Amino acid sequence: MRNYDLAIIDGDGIGPEVNAQAVKALEAAAAVHGFTLTTTPYELGAQTYLDTGTLIDSDTISALQCHDAIMFGAMGDPRVTPGILERGLILRMRRELRQQVNLRPVRLYPGVPTPIKDLDPTRCDFVVVRENTEGMYVGGGSTVHGGTTNAVALQESVNTASAIADVVDYSFRLAGQRRNKLTLCHKKNVLVHAGELWQTIVDEHAARYPSVEVDYVHADAMCQHMPMSPERFDVIVTDNLFGDIISDLGATIQGGLGVAASANLNLDGLAPSMFEPVHGSAPDIAGRGWANPAAAVLSAGMCLAALGEGKAALALENAAASVLGELRELAGPGMGASTDELGDRIVARITSDVTEIDTARISIMTAMAAV
């Protein structure tokens, strides 16, 4: 029987609460669809850092490297200075495991309330492909005359042609499996050096993928077009910072952080990809059973798609979407059920049957993670 070896990193706050539901749903999907899972927990995050002073060491990175995939909850704790966990742990894992693509689908599921008035769910189904290892997030720069009124802060953006080309090529291949539309999002009228490099590489690839229609939208204009005309987009490719910002807007359009799923995809096949909800550790609601597990479960669906279990991936997505569509509120005490109860409801709806329409959807899902 097929077996997949998963690393489980719960992290902090609501991370363990939602990741437990994701793993529960994965186990259920495995039972229904005829494969098995091996899971290995890793104690990483704020508590481990506070207890031991260690974020992550190279032995742990090497151990993570050997798994088929990683399921990650969230990290962050008010007792830890902002930036320490993000840079020292999350960004380090993404970099060392060469997870060059951060993939964030923006899909409005039927019945899920969106703040965009009268938005028909069929108009909203696109993905943001965010470059995941470079840009402003590398941390290059310096502070001169710090602490004085003459302080100068220099923050550099790193843009490597080869890394951009990998992400752009992935995006074209993905668009080719979807609706054949690719949009570059940048701010090339102001960030002229980085913008020109991104545009040049997109243009080079456009010639190699003639069936894909290509356009360009500035990042600020994107914040207007995404909510007003989401049907305009299929695959949006962008850098690390713009991708972070516009995908949070995407999460809002699709009903909030309780719904937004993501994958950090390794493209060379030599290290695992990592799947996580877009949201953070939500310390304001941790420990109360108020966290919506759907984003984590939908991320688990992406994990199954990446592992080649398309039917099971779709079964998970459908189960989570149907439970989401019934909630009164998408987060907090008004959801009408606890995190764990919602996990159980999702599990109860994981089925084995697949219709013809579903087959088309499966190929879109698996393409996401395996092009």
**Residues binding Mg ion (CB under 5 A):** 244
Q: Which of 93, 172, 187, 85 is nearest to 136 (CA)?
A: 187
136 binds, among ligand NAI, Mg ion, none (CB under 5 to 8 A by kind): none
Considering only the stretches 74-82, 161-169, 216-224, 245-253, report the one whose residues sit in contact with ligand NAI under the rule CB under 6 A: 74-82
In whole angstroms, the minimum distance from the beta carbon of 339 to ligand NAI comes to 8
244 binds, among Mg ion, ligand NAI, none (CB under 5 to 8 A by kind): Mg ion
295 binds, among Mg ion, ligand NAI, none (CB under 5 to 8 A by kind): ligand NAI
323 scored as a contact of ligand NAI (CB under 6 A) = no
Nearer to ligand NAI, 34 or 83 (CB): 83
220 binds, among Mg ion, ligand NAI, none (CB under 5 to 8 A by kind): none
Nearer to Mg ion, 255 or 343 (CB): 255
Binding mask 239-258 for ligand NAI (x = CB under 6 A): ------------------xx
Residue 54 · residue 84 · CB < 8 Å: no
291 scored as a contact of ligand NAI (CB under 6 A) = yes
The site for ligand NAI, by CB under 6 A, has a size of 23
Residue 280 · residue 293 · CB < 8 Å: no
Cβ neighbours around 179 below 10 Å, total? 16
In whole angstroms, the minimum distance from the beta carbon of 257 to ligand NAI comes to 4
* Helix, strand, coil percentages for the chain (3-state, nearest 5): 45, 20, 35
Q: What does the CA dihedral 282, 285, 290, 294 come to, rounded to 10 degrees?
A: 0
Q: List Cβ neighbours of 118 (8 Å cut-off, separation of 6 or more).
A: none
In whole angstroms, the minimum distance from the beta carbon of 310 to ligand NAI comes to 26
In whole angstroms, the minimum distance from the beta carbon of 248 to Mg ion comes to 5
Q: Which of residues 193-212 bind ligand NAI (CB under 6 A)?
A: none
- Side-chain-side CA neighbours of 246 within 13 Å: the count stands at 38
Judge residue 326's burial from the number of C-beta atoms within 10 Å of its C-beta, 0-12 exposed, 13-18 middle, 19 or more buried. Answer: exposed
74 scored as a contact of ligand NAI (CB under 6 A) = yes
230 binds, among Mg ion, ligand NAI, none (CB under 5 to 8 A by kind): none
Considering only the stretches 73-81, 120-128, 303-311, 340-348, report the one whose residues sit in contact with ligand NAI under the rule CB under 6 A: 73-81
Nearer to ligand NAI, 75 or 300 (CB): 75
Q: How many helices (H) and strands (E) does the chain have?
A: 13, 12
Residue 129 · residue 174 · CB < 8 Å: yes
Q: Strand, coil or helix: what is 305?
A: helix
Q: List Cβ neighbours of 62 (8 Å cut-off, separation of 6 or more).
A: none
Judge residue 66's burial from the number of C-beta atoms within 10 Å of its C-beta, 0-12 exposed, 13-18 middle, 19 or more buried. Answer: exposed
272 scored as a contact of ligand NAI (CB under 6 A) = no
76 scored as a contact of ligand NAI (CB under 6 A) = yes
**Which residues are at the interface with ligand NAI (CB under 6 A)?**
14, 18, 74-76, 82, 86, 90, 257-258, 276, 279-285, 291-292, 295, 331-332
